[in-house]
């Protein structure tokens, strides 16, 4: 994933449109795959998927040098549609950028860490994902009970007293799934954004994660600067479409479509960021309308929609 889809800078607008066309071609190819199968979707789902992002309406603001995607049809099937996956990821990036900025303003001693937690690869996606999901619940509960023990001293929480996550003030996570190119096994993992006032050790996380999962210890831990790139890494697509066969993509959607694939805990929960849109000064804009012609987005007349 590049940052092109996540920027409104006018200087990168043409590259953005070109990149979006690559993703739209993927949905067209998926439609061809679906045509060879029966009862894949309901008629309503198929219609939404077919029409998703057939047109793009941007608003170009010359004064601020921004070109903003203002309108497009969405299918909201982010596990099948890279266009909607981008939209979902962009919302998460913006949301947690703002929340992180607010918490760092309140407490300058906090640091941002990017952590990846994995479980053993397996032949069955559902089984692997269940294991990861349950382990994540235990991870979040352990952090919560470590904090409770520090406050109350209750014996039933004593097991968590030395948890490496005890100093984590706020956390957000997203699940990601891929299939190993060589092994053919499913590889689900969790990308986490953690804010903490205590240093995090990859070795300590690995040891505690093995204790939680009983069989997995491969993790990644990296301190990150507070910038856009870090948030894009954490809240990227749940699936990497370009590396996934259509059959695997469809299977992942069937397996995970009703699962919750992102969440938060600690001070991120319930944190509301004021909307300052009312303070913005109205700015003149030019509308740019694009229609997908089967291979690329071509600028067109909006009145012909």
Q: What is the pLDDT of residues 59-91, one digit of tens each?
A: 999 999 999 999 999 999 999 999 999 999 999
CA-CA distance, 214 to 198, in Å (whole number)?
26
Q: Is beta strand 55-61 parallel, antiparallel or unpaired with respect to 111-118?
A: unpaired
Q: What value does the mean pLDDT take over residues 249-253?
A: 93
Element (H, E) at 105: helix 82-106
Residue by residue, DSSP assigns 242-257 as GGS-HHHHHHHHHHHT
Q: For residues 3-20, give the mean pLDDT.
A: 87
**Two structure tokens written together for 211:** 């204790």
Nearest to 252 by CA among 105, 72, 125: 125
Q: Whole-number mean pLDDT of the chain?
A: 90
Name which of 262, 92, 268 is nearest 196 in CA terms.
268
Q: Is 303 left (phi over 0), alpha (psi -120 to 50) or beta?
A: alpha
**Strand, coil or helix: what is 145?**
helix
| Backbone φ and ψ of 304, nearest 5° | -95, 10
Phi, psi of 300 (to 5 degrees): -145, 180
As given in the structure block, the two tokens for residue 146 are: 């470590």
- Cβ(27)–Cβ(246) below 8 Å: no
Q: Rg (Cα) of the chain, in Å, rounded?
A: 22
Distance CA 149, CA 279 (A): 44
pLDDT tens digits, one per residue of 196-248: 999 999 999 999 999 999 999 999 999 998 777 888 888 887 888 877 899 99
Q: For 134-188, what is each residue's pLDDT tens digit?
A: 999 999 999 999 999 888 888 898 988 889 999 999 999 999 999 987 888 999 9
pTM: 0.89
């Amino acid at each position: 994933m590049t940052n092109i889809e996540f920027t409104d800078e006018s200087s990168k607008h043409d590259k953005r449109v070109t990149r979006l066309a690559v993703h739209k071609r993927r949905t067209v190819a998926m439609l061809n795959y679906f045509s060879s199968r029966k009862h894949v979707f309901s008629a309503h789902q198929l219609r939404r998927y077919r029409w998703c992002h057939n047109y793009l309406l941007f608003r170009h603001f010359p004064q601020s040098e921004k070109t903003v995607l203002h309108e497009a049809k969405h299918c909201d099937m982010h596990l099948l549609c890279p266009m909607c996956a981008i939209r979902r990821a962009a919302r998460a990036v913006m949301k947690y950028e703002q929340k992180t900025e607010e918490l760092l303003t309140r407490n300058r001693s906090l640091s941002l860490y990017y952590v990846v937690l994995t479980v053993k690869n397996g032949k069955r996606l559902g089984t692997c994902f269940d294991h990861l999901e349950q382990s994540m619940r235990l991870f979040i509960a352990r952090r919560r009970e470590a904090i409770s023990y520090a406050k109350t001293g209750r014996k039933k929480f004593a097991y968590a007293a030395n948890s490496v996550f005890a100093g984590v003030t706020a956390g957000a996570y997203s699940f990601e799934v891929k299939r190993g190119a060589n092994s053919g096994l499913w590889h689900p993992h969790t990308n986490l954004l953690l804010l903490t006032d205590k240093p995090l050790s990859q070795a300590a996380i690995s040891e505690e994660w093995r204790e939680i999962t009983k069989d997995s210890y491969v993790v990644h831990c990296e301190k990150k600067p507070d910038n856009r790139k870090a948030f894009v890494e954490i809240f990227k697509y749940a699936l990497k479409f370009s590396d996934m066969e259509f059959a695997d993509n469809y299977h992942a959607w069937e397996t995970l479509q009703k699962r919750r694939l992102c969440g938060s805990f600690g001070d991120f929960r319930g944190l509301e960021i004021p909307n300052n849109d009312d303070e913005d000064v109205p700015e003149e804009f030019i509308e740019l309308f694009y229609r997908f012609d089967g291979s690329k987005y071509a600028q067109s007349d909006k009145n012909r929609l």
